[in-house]
A = this chain, B = another copy of it.
């Protein structure tokens, strides 16, 4: 069934395989009148492109975005925005092993089980390249949010066992290290950790954190389209994510009500919370505090060690994934998490526009 569209009012449809001629996204429902250029999108794409550090694949992907529709004289028109990125690296290779056997930790087997066969070239639709469409859409959503004073920032909280404690956060340096960590010292430690992984022909996982500031209160739609529920889906739909939490998250399970509840207070005539264990949502609606979410990312399944598996007939074989693969998915997924968060928040902000009859009167009774 159709599963490549996400969002109700701000709606994105991604398409494309790793080794087809191109990959892209259609963003539908974007309000008219937002200034938008190719560079706005390119800037986001460049953050996920490989070759930024020694830990990302050497595959040459220039990933140049083209805007094919929906923008006129530098502004969105309200029509669907189609963005296309040509695949540079379509040369036919020897996919022998990948074609005929099921890589552990990959979706080869499950795609065959679902569809009867699969486009095995470079992972096909399950390739990380699918996220190009998400990131391009996220760039547009971020422009929309910017104009409302809302800012989404994602970064690497941990790589393997190296975790940046909250007390050491320096958001200013996130873009200054190829791992997108909010602390250069920990980035160095993580880099050493990764070198060890590579040496062992192994890979590791990590945690991405994402913060949304400037959120008005009341965003999210009871009872199924809650802000936190929608974010959970958005983030969990990113390949390799195995867990999502908001605010205190799993630690909350061990807390007491008296310490977990955030006291309300007044600050400058605004109602605020003294703490933010809730991570910015109460009853599934934004509570005016920053939204804080974390995503657990599993280790890259492609490792050059020999692994046991079966071929497509079920016969046991050994496989070692050759070629260069990132030993960790986290750094390149940071912008993907940021993009999916931005798209989700934009959509829910738009959905909230009809929460009150007075809003309709404001727009129509002029």
Contacts and interface: CB of A to CB of B under 8 A. Distances in A.
A357 B75 CA distance: 11
A58 interface: no
Contacts of A230: 233
Interface string A1-29: 11111111111011111001111101011
Interface in A12-63: 13-17, 20-24, 26, 28-29, 31-34
A308 to B, nearest CB: 4
A340 to B, nearest CB: 9
Given A205-B255, A221-B3, A68 B24 contact: yes
Interface stretch (A165-173, A183-191, A245-253): A245-253
Contacts of A3: 28-29, 220-226, 351
A77 B34 CA distance: 32
Contact of A271 (B76, B109, B116, B305): B109
A349 B360 contact: yes
A245 B124 contact: no
B5 A8 contact: no
A323 interface: no
A264 B108 CA distance: 11
Contact of A148 (B4, B302, B361): B361
A153 B250 CA distance: 21
A277 to B, nearest CB: 8
Contact of A260 (B75, B105, B288): B105
Most buried by B among A297, A305, A310, A365: A310
Kindly report how many copies of this chain are found in the complex they form together.
Answer: 4
Interface in A211-235: 216-226, 228-235
Interface string A252-270: 1111111011111110011
Given A106-B283, A107-B284, A353 B355 contact: no
A265 B262 CA distance: 50
Given A5-B224, A282-B110, A358 B116 contact: yes
Contacts of A178: none
Contacts of A220: 3, 110, 114
A350 B360 CA distance: 7
Interface string A271-301: 1001000110111111110000000111111
Given A9-B351, A22-B82, 16 more contacts: A17-B69, A20-B69, A79-B124, A104-B264, A105-B278, A110-B281, A148-B365, A200-B258, A226-B237, A236-B246, A245-B250, A257-B303, A260-B301, A261-B307, A263-B307, A350-B360
